[in-house]
A and B are shown apart, each in its own frame.
Chain A
Amino acid sequence: MAAFDRIKSGIPGLDKALDNIRLGDNVVWNVTNLNEFSYFVNPYVKQAKEDNRNLIYIRFANHPPLIEMTEEDFRLLEMEQNNPDTEFSMIERDGIKIYYVDPYKQFETFTLEVHRIIEKEGFDAFYVFDCLSDLQAVWSTDLMMGNFFKVTCPFLFQLDTVAFFPILRGRHSYDAIAKIRETTQLFLNVYSNSPEEVYVTPLKVWNRYSQTMFLGHKFNPITGFVKVLQDGQEVSKYYKTINSDKYQNEQTLDSWERYMLQLRREYGEGRNIDEECDKISELMMTKDEKMLSKIRQYFTFEDYITIYDRRVGSGLVGGKTCGMLLARKIIEKDRPDIYGNFEPDDSFYIGSDLFYTYIVSNDLWDLRVNQRTEEGYYKYGKELEEALKKGTFSDQIKKEFIRILDYFGQNPIIVRSSSFLEDGYGNAFAGKYESVFCVNRGTLEERLAAFEEAVKVVYSSTMNVSALEYRKLNGLDDADEQMALLVQRVSGSYYDDYFFPTAAGVGFSYSPYSPLPDMDNSKGMLRLVMGLGTKAVDRTKKDYPRIINLDKPELTMMKDIKEKHRYSQHYLDVIDLKNISLHDISIDEGLDIIPKYAKKVLIEHDRDAERLFRERGQRREIVFVNCEGIVKNHEFIDEMKEILNTLETAYDYPVDIEYTVNFGEDNSFNINLLQCRPLQVSTNNEDIEMPEDKNVFFHIKESSMGMSRKNKIDAICYVDPHKYYEYPYAQKSSLSRVISEVNAYCRNNDKTAMLIVPGRIGTSSPELGIPVVFADISHFSAILEEAYSEVGYMPELSFGSHMFQDLVEAEIYYGALFENEKKIEFNRDMMFEYPNILKDINPNLSEDIYSMVQVIDFDDNEAEFYHDMNKDETMCIFK
């Protein structure tokens, strides 16, 4: 059979009326109920069997089967579903293949499975699909049902198949029906008065035309007789039928909109809708069970309505939005006193369905399918990333975007990623997806163009290499990752041509680093900067945010004013309203334009320098930005402590937050909570389990700092404590140079390295430890101090004060090999089984140094390093 060949539908009159259904046709039956569909599908199935067609029934819905199925069929199909040896859940009987596809696997997985079936069945197959309206019920949106049809229909067409799809009238928005009508080859409206009196009106018959084709047709399923309605009396009866009450409930609203409308009504009438709220949370908020239980605990119907009203498009609002909304709600309910100081949230949420709609409407679906394969994962990922940046939005979506822009006026906004998987328990995706600032200046057209660009950049970031790698690493490469968006007003004030908040930063309810041994890490930690929080989130070389350990907030590890200057902020990030950009400006420029009261809380005076100038007769203000005034504002610090503590208790897990704070003239302040998520305690987000029965190099407990991690170690540098002790005092300092050279070797050869040194690293007194500076050890991923009581070397978990900030910023692990019960095992001699490569690094050192400093490079036989922050346990094994 060739494409476009005529086939028999089983109803000869209908074949005549439509000039036959052809190979390649998708036939959509718009029916009142599935009984009406049976009048057409039964003859079609019968005829297909007679003609020995490859007949396939795609079952996915909960309604009764559209072709006859016995209990035995259902049982066998269910068995097939659980059969791991078969690719599809399929049974075959009486010449019909019945496939079951699970729509609860969500859009992408479901659609791909249907496509694989179509591909397997090949040319000239005859299909019956379950009711499309059921997909809408499962996916809760017309949009995705339309997307499924839009990508499946061309696939069927290409293989010259014939497919029957029923859809229920009055259940879908006009937009959804229009999308289906536009894609399909045949679209037929069916009405019925009785089993003998059924009306068919073709609304679309592609590539065929006759004088009477688009008139109403009367069909008698019992006799099989089809008649064109041309007689005046019959025509009036037909119109009476289609205008009867039962056909008057057609609406323009999406099913989801109707559902919410109905719930609002029921809620207004005082009915209990708790169960419905659970359903809404699942359909609108997240699929993460743990998050869902928290959301259900804190959210009321009114909260859902508020979110619903600010959502654009359908689908979930995504992980980041959920985290932010939940955190605000927790504070509102559990600490209303603190919530009073919060800036209200007026964000918009762009639903995750819009992401797939964007892919489908820009013809990128095939590329997306290719990207899901193992070979195409990176290759097509790159291509898709580029293509996502170049797509266009439909007029309908643009109108919604304009609604958002109209609301925000010319205030700067930020478009943030809020994907399905983001910010859930265990999957933070920190920094993997983009967030884009929109300065939001210019004409509406310009602002809309910039906003669309921002949305495209965030969408395309789902395909950037680091996000793809992260997903693969966490076994999420096969998971549906739909991108929702969070559109937030940037919190801040206008200062001349710039816009920024007084201060912003991130907070952790548990601090992975503590500068002093007796500090309580569970009180948490804040990182705080002047201006936009990007400076606190991203690590920059030139700026240091203020680190506040909430147990002792005012404690600083800077021992003198010189260090305070050095480890302060030198630039701040701002939104430039004039040049429509985001960039940094110098602190001096920033301090010049902010009011005195804001300046007061951000700066600290260098009184010594000012005094010196005064003595010379000059009145000069010498300041640096370290947010000292904010740290000394007890009310603020206490509130932050309480916020972190309340959130951690509610989450049952440590959390990290992003926030801004704006100060007023009377020292009053407003906090804006921008984000909250379960704390990512590990650098690579894996569960850390200590290996057993391995070649243990060392194993220590309760004597380390840093995020959890599991990584390989390529090189180790070890300084023998006894030999260091015996080394002449005057030459001890030269060891820092040796370590610096090893550090450079590791950096240049991209080696992950570990350093083990006696006593206190970074001390200024060589008799206590090696007096290195941060630059000498910057490339080591782990640093351990070894105790050697015989000569008095004792580690002190303090990093050496001035290095604390650098080490925290570089996320370097820090531990101590004590000589007590905390050291479970340390097999020093294992290192000496490897050749010392220090001579290769620097052949001009003395023999004393070569015998004191052992540097090993594992080449292929690397070591593995495990650290679990929660249990405070560390282990290193040699392979």
Chain B
Amino acid sequence: MDYISIIFGQVGGTYAFFICSNSFFHKKDFSNKRKMYDKIFHVINGPIFNNRVIFTCFFLKLNNQLVSEKISIFGYLFTTVIFMCAPHF
């Protein structure tokens, strides 16, 4: 079974979401929250979510630009740990 994780939030003045599975990691920015939610909804209903278990889904609000640049790494590490543990859940 494949797992997929979504982390979304506000990064400085930009809204962004990250999706991460055990085979890819993607990031997408948006200029407003509505657009981001629309896209998340769009993607969750789309083919890349087929047959995958969604694991995490939460909102991060990060104003510090320095931290925001690290969010990808954070997201990746977080989901990697989740996936490693996933079979045991």
Contact = CB atoms under 8 A, between A and B. Distances in A.
Interface of A: 1-3, 115, 119-120, 122-124, 154-155, 158-160, 366, 369-370, 373, 375-376, 380
B63 interface: no
Contacts of A158: 42-43, 46-48
Contact of B51 (A119, A122, A123, A370): A370
Interface string B28-49: 1111000100110011001110
B35 A370 contact: no
A375 B26 CA distance: 24
B64 interface: no
B7 to A, nearest CB: 15
B51 A1 contact: no
B48 A2 contact: no
A1 B47 contact: no
Given A1-B29, A119-B24, A124-B28, A375 B51 contact: yes
Contacts of A124: 28
Contact of B30 (A2, A119, A370): A2
User: Most chain-B CB neighbours within 10 Å: which of A158, A373, A376?
Assistant: A158
A509 B47 CA distance: 50
Contacts of A123: 26-28
Interface of B (DSSP majority class): mixed
Contacts of B43: 158-159
B35 A2 contact: yes
B35 A3 contact: yes
10 contacts: A2-B30, A2-B31, A3-B38, A3-B39, A119-B47, A120-B24, A154-B46, A154-B47, A155-B46, A158-B42
Contacts of B23: 119-120
A159 B38 CA distance: 13
Interface in B45-70: 46-48, 50-51
Contacts, number: 51
Interface residues of B, number: 19
A160 B1 contact: no
Contacts of B39: 2-3, 160
A3 B31 CA distance: 11
Contacts of A122: 24, 26
Contacts of B38: 3
B33 to A, nearest CB: 11
B48 A119 contact: yes
B16 to A, nearest CB: 11
A37 to B, nearest CB: 27
B35 A369 contact: no
Interface of B: 1, 23-24, 26-31, 35, 38-39, 42-43, 46-48, 50-51
Contact of B1 (A2, A159, A375): A375
B55 to A, nearest CB: 16
B24 to A, nearest CB: 5
Nearest to A124: B28
A581 to B, nearest CB: 40
Nearest to A120: B24
Contacts of B28: 1-2, 123-124, 160
B42 A370 contact: no
A377 to B, nearest CB: 11
Nearest to B51: A370
Contacts of A376: 51
Nearest to B38: A3
A120 B23 CA distance: 7
Contacts of A3: 35, 38-39, 42
Contacts of B51: 369-370, 373, 375-376, 380
B5 to A, nearest CB: 14
Nearest to B39: A3
Contacts of B1: 375
Contacts of A380: 51
A719 to B, nearest CB: 51
Given A154-B46, A158-B47, A375-B1, 13 more contacts: A2-B29, A119-B23, A119-B48, A122-B26, A123-B27, A155-B48, A158-B43, A158-B46, A159-B43, A369-B47, A369-B51, A370-B50, A376-B51
Contacts of B29: 1-2
A158 B38 CA distance: 11
A207 to B, nearest CB: 15
A120 B30 CA distance: 21
Contacts of A160: 28, 39
A53 to B, nearest CB: 14
A601 B48 CA distance: 64
Contacts of B31: 2
A120 B47 CA distance: 13
Kindly list the 6 A-B residue pairs having the minimum CB-CB distance in the complex, ordered from nearest. Answer: A122-B26, A158-B46, A370-B51, A123-B28, A2-B30, A375-B1
User: Most chain-A CB neighbours within 10 Å: which of B26, B29, B47?
Assistant: B47
A158 B48 CA distance: 9
Nearest to A116: B23
A373 B51 CA distance: 8
Contacts of B35: 2-3
A2 B38 CA distance: 11
A86 to B, nearest CB: 13
Nearest to A365: B47
A446 B39 CA distance: 45
Contacts of B24: 119-120, 122
Contacts of A370: 50-51
A865 to B, nearest CB: 36
B44 to A, nearest CB: 10
A115 B50 CA distance: 12
A207 B30 CA distance: 20
A375 B23 CA distance: 17
A369 B26 contact: no
Nearest to B30: A2
Nearest to B36: A2
B46 to A, nearest CB: 4
A3 B1 CA distance: 29
Nearest to B45: A158
Contacts of B50: 366, 369-370
Contacts of A369: 47, 50-51
A122 B27 CA distance: 8
A443 B35 CA distance: 54
A65 to B, nearest CB: 26
A376 B27 CA distance: 28
A628 to B, nearest CB: 58
